A and B are shown apart, each in its own frame.
Chain A
Amino acid sequence: MALVDNWEVVIGLETHAQLATKSKIFSGASTAFGAAPNTQACAVDIALPGVLPVLNGKAVECAIRFGLAVGALIAPRSIFARKNYFYPDLPKAYQISQYELPVVQGGSLTIRVGQGEDLSEKTVRLTRAHLEEDAGKSLHEDFHGKTGIDLNRAGTPLLEIVTEPDMRSSDEAVAYARALHALVRWIDICDGNMQEGSFRCDANVSVRRRGESKLGTRREIKNLNSFRFMQQAIDFEVRWQIERIEDGGTIEQATVLFDPDSGETRAMRSKEDAHDYRYFPDPDLLPLDIAPAWIERVKGEMPELPGAMKARFERDYGLSAYDATTLTGSLEIARYFEAMLAAAGRTAAKTCANWVMGDLAARLNREDKDISESPVSAAQLGGLIARIADGTISNSIARKVFDALWNGEGESADQIIEAEGLKQISDSGAIEKIIDEVLAANARSVEEFRAGKEKAFNALVGQAMKATKGKANPQQVGELLRKKLGA
């Protein structure tokens, strides 16, 4: 992409995370997903005259948790404001949001980009995170030429998380979105369900010639609800902007939509008729005061954060940065790994890590299961690792035991090893006896080996392993075999 080499891409993201509350941010209506239209839209949500909003304390607590997790300032006093615009799915004709004084100010998130050798860390600065209510949903299918409105979603609490324009590629933007997605789930403030719209991103994208210090004019890609679409949309938008400028055109500030079918972005509305939201403090809501004692209490209830846990895994278990990063990719994986260690012993940490990221991940992936749905529990897998670590079974036998556990053929690795007679043969007398038999039965291979064919040796090891049904240690078999052959 020689074309792109002369250009710098600048990206900032705005993410709407739906907060995990039972009731709405300003009313006592349910937030459960999937109910029949308008059955969870109460008088406050549909803006009947005379109603007043009352703030949900849990939504505020979610914002505090987020602020603590990203090292931000949690504003001792923040203000709710009215964002005014007309749209049928916004019954009050204004959205209650926060403008001048948001509840969370500043903070940052560390992201990791690239793989293996090229893995690098980067800090993305956050501008703010503020509380607001969601709008309803417009259904444009034909209702006799009319639009249908479902207000169940109206008033659902959102935390809008805004970054500085710190990202320089679609890879970085996606890495940030993934890290944020993992974090909000980790601290249990959002279920992260992107299909249901619980986590959606808008990307502000601009380009400028390398060396230029002034930012280019940005276009905002709205409502990206998958990481793959985010990557495609940004890549398309970047190429479009560069080509346009190189062809002598200019970029006009605009809101654009991504069409997954064509893979293109297209303008929704231009700056000319962009909304002037006329924000002002909402007289229906008093200032939100958050006392230091509340923040302290929440701090005490926070789980260990992924960054701290990753550092601990490296320090205490001697894991590589890559392993520690992968194992702290979600709270479920991290908890599984630690529960495994409790059963397998801390010295087996690397083996545990390999199994979680290897055999277990592959099997879960193949059957499209989440680690929380794994048929093999952490205690069971840890028990299996313990038997590898103490030499009771080899890795290849361990895979058989793993399959048996997966298929529910036993309660524990020990039980299966016992029942199936899978214990590794380490008694060298017993192995020597098997080797003698193998040598007698494979005279040709022995001759070939003596004639200098190393391949023949491997065939003999294979035969011996087969004779032990895989229960011998292949290394031990090899050593004994060489001794016998006088090599």
Chain B
Amino acid sequence: MSLTNEQVHRIAHLARIELAPGEDERIRDQLNGIFGLIEQMQAVDTAGVEPMSHAVDLSQRLREDRVSESDLRGRFQAIAPDVEAGLYLVPKVIE
């Protein structure tokens, strides 16, 4: 499998990564190199091996349902670019 330049641009757009002019060629080659590695791995016979979703073979630890966090809004908002009336302000979003 190999990617086209168009696909590279689409992936970049989905990840909101801006590509400099001419950069798409280089990125495409790098990504295709990764696909080469994946192809190598896929050649390994994994019949009978249960797929893993995590590299660590443990299960999730659970937390007790208890409120343990206090209000730190003042400290968080001190480092936010723009706040008002307790809200974080961002460029206008219209759906």
A23 to B69, CA, bound (A): 9
B58 at the interface (CB under 8 A from A): yes
A86 to B14, CA, bound (A): 9
- B66 in contact with A23 (CB, 8 Å): yes
- B60 in contact with A289 (CB, 8 Å): yes
In the complex, residue of chain A having the shortest beta-carbon distance to the beta carbon of B62: A57
In the complex, residue of chain A having the shortest beta-carbon distance to the beta carbon of B58: A286
- A147 in contact with B89 (CB, 8 Å): yes
- A39 in contact with B71 (CB, 8 Å): yes
Q: Provide the residues of chain A in CB contact with B63, threshold 8 Å.
A: 23, 28, 54-57
0/1 interface trace, chain A 283-302, chain B, CB 8 Å (1 if under) = 10111110000000000000
CB contact under 8 A between A281 and B53, given known A38-B77, A55-B60, A56-B62: yes
Residue of A60, A139, A269 touching B87 (CB-CB under 8 A): A139
0/1 interface trace, chain A 18-61, chain B, CB 8 Å (1 if under) = 00011100011110000011111111001010000011111110
- A38 in contact with B73 (CB, 8 Å): yes
Q: Provide the residues of chain B in CB contact with A322, threshold 8 Å.
A: none
Binds A, one of B29-37, B40-48, B78-86: B78-86
Q: Provide the residues of chain A in CB contact with B94, threshold 8 Å.
A: 140
CB contact under 8 A between A148 and B87, given known A278-B14, A289-B60: yes
In the complex, residue of chain B having the shortest beta-carbon distance to the beta carbon of A142: B92
A357 at the interface (CB under 8 A from B): no
- B68 in contact with A38 (CB, 8 Å): no
A240 at the interface (CB under 8 A from B): no
- B54 in contact with A151 (CB, 8 Å): no
Q: Provide the residues of chain B in CB contact with A36, threshold 8 Å.
A: 86
A59 to B66, CA, bound (A): 12
Minimum CB–CB distance for A290 against chain B, Å: 9
In the complex, residue of chain B having the shortest beta-carbon distance to the beta carbon of A283: B54
Minimum CB–CB distance for A201 against chain B, Å: 19
A322 to B58, CA, bound (A): 51
- B69 in contact with A286 (CB, 8 Å): no
- B54 in contact with A286 (CB, 8 Å): yes
B90 at the interface (CB under 8 A from A): yes
B72 at the interface (CB under 8 A from A): yes
A276 at the interface (CB under 8 A from B): yes
- B67 in contact with A22 (CB, 8 Å): yes
- B60 in contact with A138 (CB, 8 Å): no
Q: Provide the residues of chain B in CB contact with A41, threshold 8 Å.
A: 73, 76
- A38 in contact with B93 (CB, 8 Å): no
Residue of A22, A27, A55 touching B62 (CB-CB under 8 A): A55
The B5-58 residues at the A interface (CB cut-off 8 A) are: 14, 16, 53-56, 58
Minimum CB–CB distance for A487 against chain B, Å: 74
A480 to B60, CA, bound (A): 80
Residue of A28, A55, A88, A281 touching B67 (CB-CB under 8 A): A28
- B92 in contact with A145 (CB, 8 Å): yes
A79 at the interface (CB under 8 A from B): yes
A101 to B87, CA, bound (A): 36
CB contact under 8 A between A30 and B60, given known A39-B86, A41-B73: no
CB contact under 8 A between A79 and B88, given known A42-B69, A54-B63: no
Q: Provide the residues of chain A in CB contact with B54, threshold 8 Å.
A: 281, 283, 285-287
Residue of B65, B71, B76 touching A58 (CB-CB under 8 A): B65
0/1 interface trace, chain A 132-174, chain B, CB 8 Å (1 if under) = 0000001110011111111100000000000000000000000
A268 at the interface (CB under 8 A from B): yes
- B62 in contact with A40 (CB, 8 Å): no
Minimum CB–CB distance for A259 against chain B, Å: 13
Which of B84, B90, B91 has its CB near the most chain A CB atoms (within 10 A)?
B90
Q: Provide the residues of chain B in CB contact with A140, threshold 8 Å.
A: 92-94
In the complex, residue of chain B having the shortest beta-carbon distance to the beta carbon of A138: B93
In the complex, residue of chain B having the shortest beta-carbon distance to the beta carbon of A146: B89
CB contact under 8 A between A143 and B84, given known A281-B53, A288-B59: yes
Closest 4 A-B residue pairs measured CB to CB? A28-B68, A148-B87, A58-B65, A57-B62
Residues of B bordering A, CB below 8 Å: 14, 16, 53-56, 58-69, 71-73, 76-77, 82, 84-95
**Interface pairs (18), CB distance under 8 Å:** A21-B65, A23-B69, A36-B86, A37-B86, A38-B86, A41-B76, A43-B76, A48-B76, A54-B62, A55-B60, A56-B63, A143-B84, A143-B87, A147-B92, A283-B55, A286-B56, A287-B59, A288-B59
Residues of A bordering B, CB below 8 Å: 21-23, 27-30, 36-43, 46, 48, 54-60, 77, 79-80, 84, 86-88, 101, 138-140, 143-151, 268-269, 276, 278, 281, 283, 285-289
Additional 16 contacts, C-beta under 8 A, given A28-B67, A148-B87, A285-B54? A22-B66, A28-B66, A29-B67, A30-B67, A38-B86, A39-B86, A54-B62, A56-B65, A57-B64, A57-B65, A59-B65, A140-B92, A140-B94, A281-B53, A286-B59, A287-B59
